[in-house]
Amino acid sequence: MTSPNGHGVFNLEAAAAAEGEAAPFPFQYKGTHYELPAMSGWPMTTIRKVATGDLEAALGSLIGPETYEQLCAAGLTLGEMKALFAAAGATGGMATLPNSRPRAPHGSTRTSKR
């Protein structure tokens, strides 16, 4: 994508905006509705937090500290937080969370010669 002035400079922000607005990821926890912003708009600092396993900081940065504290006060567990990120990742185009174990292969391959 070139710039409007025709100088051929790629405008990353304009290109990302042209991709369209992805829908946020709505979820419910203990009767209260929440939503994560669309994964395509997550800051790379948040992606890094997810990749290093700092899900607490990642979730807090996505929904804000007050909302995060509300979830914690409601009893949010680590398992639930992992499930939330896995579901958001699946809808956001990531098959698994970064640093998750890869899926098992569907079939086995022979390793010895006959």
pLDDT in tens, the chain (114 residues): 455 556 789 888 887 776 656 789 999 999 999 999 988 889 999 999 999 999 999 999 999 999 999 999 999 999 999 999 999 988 876 544 555 444 455 555 555 565
pLDDT of the residue at 103: 47
Distance in angstroms (rounded) separating the CA atoms of residues 28 and 46: 21
pLDDT of the residue at 111: 59
First CA to last CA distance, the chain: 55
Distance in angstroms (rounded) separating the CA atoms of residues 90 and 97: 9
Q: Which two tokens stand for residue 46?
A: 């948040």
pLDDT of the residue at 44: 94
